[in-house]
Amino acid sequence: MTSPADDQGAVHLRRDGAVAHLIFDRPHARNAMTWTMYEGMAAACDEIMNDPTVRVAVFRGEGGKAFVAGTDIAQFLEFSSGDDGLAYEDKVETYLARIERLPMPTICVVEGWAVGGGMAIANACDFRIATTGSRFGVPIARTLGNCLSAQNLRGLTETLGLPMVKRMLMLAEMPEAEELLGHGYLLAVAEAEGIDALQDEIVGKLLGHAPVTMQVTKEALRRLGTDLNPDDRDLIHRAYGSHDFKHGVESFVAKQKPDWQGN
């Protein structure tokens, strides 16, 4: 028999060369997030944050039936006032910020469901791919009656557009992957048997690109999210002062393929 302590799930960090895999492991509950899992995700992000050997991070749910089906609703039974909601949304934002601040490209692989907090995690990644028929949404107007923070809504609006966010939040719609592919939210969609190959193809492409270029680009885009005229001189200085830039120019002139080192 499974005890409550055994039912907290986990987020596993697995390394495969230059690729870090963060696996949400609670498949019997569609990988619904417990506090233990949120903390595990944060710890995994912290571990790879400053590791220059990690070039790509992949987020994926265990079991093949769901990415993450939101936060475990049973945890909300402990809430007694709006103060609990404020504390919860603040915590969620810090967890999502861990993903958004990762310097390496991040890929979310969705098989089945990405709902509520699961969609927020997917949205915090740079790229999203999914199996056909996978569903995305935040149907809280129909189910729980809570809300998202304005910061969370801003992130969704930036990737989905205002009309789609209104459909998901106010009409509680759960569009399928094929529709979101047309909106540009998903990079690609594949049948279940082809999702691993699709993941490997995208990872391989990213591994072949200049890490410093991608890192400073991610950081510049992140700063633009809160400041339309951010100070970017440190980023420009880092890119043009890097070994990779010098090597890239020399390789281009010599018509050779560059061997990026990430420094």
- pLDDT tens across 209-219, in order? 999 999 999 99
What is the reported pLDDT for 225?
87
The mean pLDDT of 248-260, rounded to a whole number, is 96
Strand ranges for 116-233 from DSSP E: 127-131, 135-137, 188-190
pLDDT single digits (tens) 26-48: 999 999 999 999 999 999 999 99
Question: 147 and 235: one domain?
Answer: no
C-alpha angle with apex 239: 236 to 240, nearest 5 degrees?
85
Domain region containing 23: 4-207
**Structural domain contains residue 262:** no
Question: 56 and 182: one domain?
Answer: yes
Question: 202 and 222: one domain?
Answer: no
CATH code, domain carrying 178: 3.90.226.10
Question: 160 and 94: one domain?
Answer: yes
Cα first-last separation, the chain: 51
Structural domain count, the chain: 2
Question: 24 and 47: one domain?
Answer: yes
Question: 216 and 203: one domain?
Answer: no
**Is the model's pTM score more than 0.75?**
yes
How far apart, in whole angstroms, are the C-alpha atoms of residue 234 and residue 215?
12
Strand ranges for 36-116 from DSSP E: 56-61, 68-69, 106-110, 113-115
Answer yes or no: is pLDDT of 226 > 90: no
Question: 111 and 74: one domain?
Answer: yes
- Residue 253 banded pLDDT, cuts 50, 70, 90: very high
**Structural domain contains residue 78:** yes
**Structural domain contains residue 261:** no
Question: 42 and 72: one domain?
Answer: yes
CA distances to 64, 116, 145 from 29, in Å: 12, 14, 21
**Structural domain contains residue 259:** no
Question: 28 and 91: one domain?
Answer: yes
Asked if 164 and 175 touch (Cβ cutoff 8 Å), the reply is yes
- Residue 6 banded pLDDT, cuts 50, 70, 90: low
CA distances to 25, 27, 68, 128 from 3, in Å: 16, 16, 21, 34
Mean pLDDT for the chain?
Answer: 95
pLDDT single digits (tens) 97-128: 999 999 999 999 999 999 999 999 999 999 99
What is the reported pLDDT for 227?
86
Question: 25 and 126: one domain?
Answer: yes
Answer yes or no: is pLDDT of 4 > 80: no
The mean pLDDT of 136-143, rounded to a whole number, is 96
| Tokens 């089945």, located at residue | 112
How far apart, in whole angstroms, are the C-alpha atoms of residue 253 and residue 263?
20
Question: 157 and 236: one domain?
Answer: no
The percent of residues above 90 in pLDDT, for the chain, comes to 95
**In which order are the strands placed within the sheet that holds 127-131?**
10-16, 19-25, 56-61, 106-110, 127-131, 188-190
